């Protein structure tokens, strides 16, 4: 059977599932369909502007469905109606989430997008509650509370976040403590983000904060816009609906294989499939944007992205905060010639760097979230049934930054580099 005929057969099942039956819809004229063929996905990256994937596409779900059916009936290659297909499922997903896609503009800031954040992550968690295999969605909903709470802090405090008494001073105190303990060479081995925080904090403006927030909100919409149409298609039309995505070139063989794993019913394959979806999110959807945010105005972006990881405490049960995952450890030689190791309870890595972030995700978030799904579902379900406004408002990490940095100075430790031969560790107070 040719691919066009296969997709038409699959589309009949999808249309029936979503209530877009060909017999029930008024036929579209060829000219109507033609104007929506071969459209580039100019707004697939939400940095380009508000709304859907192309400004010429309609936002009415039944109209989009009718146009899709006409394209399928004419045996038009899926690559030619890819934008129409994408827009259909994006409109459907945002509609189910309660989001006005036409008006969704990440660059409007957190206040304007607060409801979109809540509704996005509520939709993620609802997908997990209804489909145990959709672990990417569930974990995304859990982490979304931390993400949203942090963004609220960023915008409400604006540049005052960095001008608060104690922020710049506390970061500088960390550097001073390291220098007194291990010398100036140890300071140069501290993470670039921590050093940047001490130097850049007083210079960060409200405009800088707004720019970074906009970049992060663009990432949030990009993730939803890429992964949620797939999830919606999966729960509505199953693998045949996703095969049409693949045929249209919206994703490749790797993602189709991931969805087959998700749908397999086998625990290991389900985990493998969700991991592949998470890798797409972190690499394909947002890696470039994180790099752009980190490089913004040199040490300004470096400082803000480092801070976002240092302050975070993910909601997934059993997951250690980023500051406890690969904390700062600097070997040095003490004044008496003893090989020593300085340790600080702050991350030696920056959340915005893909490889570092992926290591944390795969060693902490993924296995511990899977364990929750498989072994502690009642507790996870209870958390997810909490109103999402409550979940998000309980996560306001940036308010405690001065205390976090001051605590890091108090908890700075020096231990012998070879504890077997040089004795017990010593705390520097």
119 Rama class: left (phi>0) / alpha (psi -120 to 50) / beta: alpha
Rg (CA), the chain: 25
Residue closest to 232 by CA, chosen among 99, 117, 352, 351:
99
**379-423 pLDDT tens trace:** 999 999 999 988 887 766 555 677 788 888 999 999 998 654 333
Residue 51 lies in a domain: yes
The per-residue pLDDT of the chain, averaged, comes to: 87
pLDDT, residue 22, reads 39
Eight-state DSSP code of residue 202: G
pLDDT, residue 11, reads 53
In Å, how far are 114, 191, 267, 269, 341 from 111, measured between CA atoms?
A: 5, 32, 40, 40, 45
When comparing pLDDT for 342 and 111, which is higher? 342
**297-322 pLDDT tens trace:** 989 999 989 988 888 778 898 999 89
Eight-state DSSP code of residue 27: P
Residue 58 lies in a domain: yes
Q: Is residue 135 classed as helix, strand or coil in its secondary structure?
A: helix
Q: How far apart are CA 273 and CA 254, in angstroms?
A: 9
Residue closest to 215 by CA, chosen among 101, 102, 104, 109:
109
Beta carbons of 238 and 263 less than 8 angstroms apart: yes
Strand order through the sheet with 426-427? 327-333, 339-347, 413-416, 426-427
| 30 C-beta neighbours (distance < 10 Å), count | 9
**322-351 pLDDT tens trace:** 999 999 999 999 999 999 999 999 999 999
Domain count of the fold of the chain: 1
Beta carbons of 322 and 363 less than 8 angstroms apart: no
Residue 426 lies in a domain: no
**32-73 pLDDT tens trace:** 899 999 999 999 999 999 999 999 999 999 999 999 999 999
Neighbouring C-alpha atoms within 13 Å toward the C-beta of 224: 34
Q: How far apart are CA 310 and CA 366, in angstroms?
A: 20
pLDDT, residue 396, reads 61
Residue closest to 20 by CA, chosen among 285, 245, 250, 233:
233
Residue 26 lies in a domain: yes
Residue 217 lies in a domain: yes
Residue 277 lies in a domain: yes
pLDDT, residue 361, reads 95
Q: Which domain holds residue 73?
A: 3-105+213-258+265-284
Residue 325 lies in a domain: no
User: Averaged over 79-102, what is the pLDDT?
Assistant: 98
Lowest mean pLDDT across 78-87, 185-194, 405-414: 405-414
């Amino acid at each position: 059977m040719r691919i066009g005929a296969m997709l038409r057969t699959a589309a009949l099942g999808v249309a029936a599932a979503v209530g877009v039956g060909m017999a029930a819809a008024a036929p579209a004229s060829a000219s109507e369909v033609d104007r929506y063929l071969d459209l580039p996905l100019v707004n697939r990256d939400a940095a380009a502007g508000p709304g859907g994937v192309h400004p010429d596409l309609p936002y009415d779900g039944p109209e989009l469905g009718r146009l899709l059916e006409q394209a399928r009936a004419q045996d038009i290659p899926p690559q030619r109606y890819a934008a129409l297909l994408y827009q259909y499922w994006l409109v459907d997903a945002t509609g189910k989430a309660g989001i006005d896609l036409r008006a969704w503009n990440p660059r409007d800031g957190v206040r304007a997008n607060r409801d979109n954040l809540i509704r996005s992550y509520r939709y993620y968690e609802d997908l997990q509650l209804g489909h145990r295999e959709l672990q990417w969605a569930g974990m995304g909903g859990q982490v979304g509370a931390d993400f949203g709470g942090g963004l609220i802090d960023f915008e409400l405090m604006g540049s005052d976040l960095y001008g608060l008494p104690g922020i710049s001073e506390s970061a500088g105190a960390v550097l001073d403590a390291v220098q007194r303990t291990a010398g100036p060479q140890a300071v140069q081995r501290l993470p670039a983000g921590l050093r940047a925080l001490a130097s850049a904090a007083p210079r960060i403006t409200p405009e800088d904060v707004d720019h970074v927030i906009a970049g992060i909100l663009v990432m949030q919409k990009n993730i939803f816009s890429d992964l949620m149409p797939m999830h919606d298609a999966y729960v509505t039309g199953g693998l045949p609906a996703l095969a049409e995505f693949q045929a249209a070139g919206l994703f490749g063989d790797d993602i189709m294989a991931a969805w087959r794993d998700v749908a397999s019913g086998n625990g290991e394959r389900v985990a493998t499939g969700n991991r592949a979806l998470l890798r797409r999110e972190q690499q394909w959807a947002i890696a470039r944007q994180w790099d752009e945010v980190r490089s913004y105005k040199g040490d300004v972006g470096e400082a803000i992205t480092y801070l976002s990881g240092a302050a975070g405490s993910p909601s997934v049960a059993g997951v250690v905060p980023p500051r406890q995952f690969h904390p700062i450890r600097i070997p040095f030689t003490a004044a008496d010639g003893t090989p020593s190791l300085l340790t600080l309870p702050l991350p030696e890595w920056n959340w915005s760097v893909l490889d570092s972030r992926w290591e944390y995700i795969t060693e902490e978030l993924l296995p511990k979230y899977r364990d929750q799904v498989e072994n502690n579902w009642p507790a996870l379900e209870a958390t997810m049934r909490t109103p999402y406004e409550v979940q998000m408002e309980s996560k306001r990490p940036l308010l405690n930054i001065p205390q976090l940095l001051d605590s890091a100075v108090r908890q700075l430790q020096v231990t012998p580099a070879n504890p077997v031969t040089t004795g017990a560790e010593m705390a520097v107070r």
